Structure 1
Amino acid sequence: MSQSPTTFDPYPGIVDDLAYTYEGVFTRERVAATVQAARDVLESTAKVKTYLPVFVARQAREQLMAAAQAEGLVAKAVPEIVFVCVQNAGRSQMAAALTEHLSARRVHVRTAGSAPSGEINSTVVEVLAERGIDLTTAYPKPLTDNVIRAADVIVTMGCGDACPVLPGKRYEDWDVADPAGQPIEVVRDIRDDIQARVTNLLRQILD
């Protein structure tokens, strides 16, 4: 009698690891559902599949932490900022990277987009590398309610993404040019504009 071929799971151990990490916080079923949601989103948008298991694990872990913070199950150590732009491939990624670079981990940063693209803008990666910032392992992420609920500050990047308005949150909309399709000189100007805005925001939050 012939047997059905064994189904290959490209993400072995991710649910096991996260279920262990969040034991006593979330059920295994919720962890598994979060991993599946991350797989569904990232598999449908990724242009390069090589590192998908890494990205799925990171996305699921981030979503679980955001949910735990939003539901009051895990205390926040530092203020939370989320940068939102439709494709989450240029402006919001630059803002998040510059914020992490300049804040010395005094804030926690997330990024998100309502229609995340498959990869980060390569010119954005290049102009941040000029500042010693490595964006090569970043990837576009979907906008979820948990990310917004966990944030203290929500910054939209002038690109039309609508976020739910929740009490106790600080909202800003930055009118920042889109780096997509722009020459590197223009993207450098966008980077510097975002850095000035980030510096001002950090002064207000941390001083």
Structure 2
Amino acid sequence: MTQQSTSETPAAPKGRTETTRIAFVCVQNAGRSQMAYAFGQREIENRGLDGEVEVITGGTRPAEHVHDEVVRAMDAIDLDVAGRTPREITFEETQGSDYVITMGCSADDVCPAGWAGENRDWDLDDPDGRPAEEVAAIRDEIEARVSELFDEIQKRV
């Protein structure tokens, strides 16, 4: 995977406001990216960043539903993803994002040429079909990475 990264603050794409947008992307949008989205929403609320940071999520080939293992793992920490529906992410959405975070899958299909943002690949195991303790470990890793990303972003906003 080609990872685009700069040490500079990403420039806001044309037509963007000052809101920092993060896109959490994986293939099926049924596991890792759904967990990251839920943690991102929680960080926005807990840090009082509503209107300053926005999170979106999607996949390149969305599944029909969020993986049952993921629903249970998130339920165990009182975050409900059962009602979420995997969806396709569009080029326009990634073009309008300051960060595209992929979960161990290529961003080549989702990051348009000439895009001014930053792509990070977190290279996480897919929780689909994994035992509960492995899914919990993946969940906890995602939670830590989302928190670190928000620490970094909060220094910039």
* 1:50-89 to 2 correspondences below 5 Å: 72=15, 76=17, 78-89=19-30
Q: Alignment partner for residue 204 of structure 1, among 148, 152, 155? A: 152
Q: Does 1:194 align with 2:142?
A: yes
Comparing 196-205 and 166-175, the one that deviates more: 166-175
Q: Alignment partner for residue 125 of structure 1, among 56, 63, 71? A: 71
Q: Alignment partner for residue 95 of structure 1, among 22, 33, 36? A: 36
- The 8 Å contact of residues 113 and 161 in structure 1, kept in 2 or not, is answered as no
Distance in 2, Cα, partners of 1:94 & 1:134 = 10
Distance in 1, Cα, partners of 2:115 & 2:107 = 19
Q: Give the superposition deviation at 1:102.
A: 2.0
Structure with the larger helix share: 1
Distance in 2, Cα, partners of 1:125 & 1:112 = 17
Which structure has the higher relative contact order (CA within 8 Å, separation 6+)? 2
Partner of 2:5: none
Distance in 2, Cα, partners of 1:76 & 1:182 = 40
Partner of 2:7: none
Structure with the larger strand share: 2
Q: Does 1:178 align with 2:126?
A: yes
- TM-score norm. by structure 1 comes to 0.61
What amino acid maps onto 1:143 in structure 2?
I
Gaps of 5+ in 1: 1-69
Q: Does 1:152 align with 2:93?
A: no
What amino acid maps onto 2:134 in structure 1?
V
Distance in 1, Cα, partners of 2:80 & 2:18 = 24
Distance in 1, Cα, partners of 2:18 & 2:84 = 23
- TM-score norm. by structure 2 comes to 0.79
Larger Rg: 1
What amino acid maps onto 1:205 in structure 2?
I
Distance in 1, Cα, partners of 2:97 & 2:105 = 19
Identity of aligned residues (%): 38
- The 8 Å contact of residues 107 and 119 in structure 2, kept in 1 or not, is answered as no
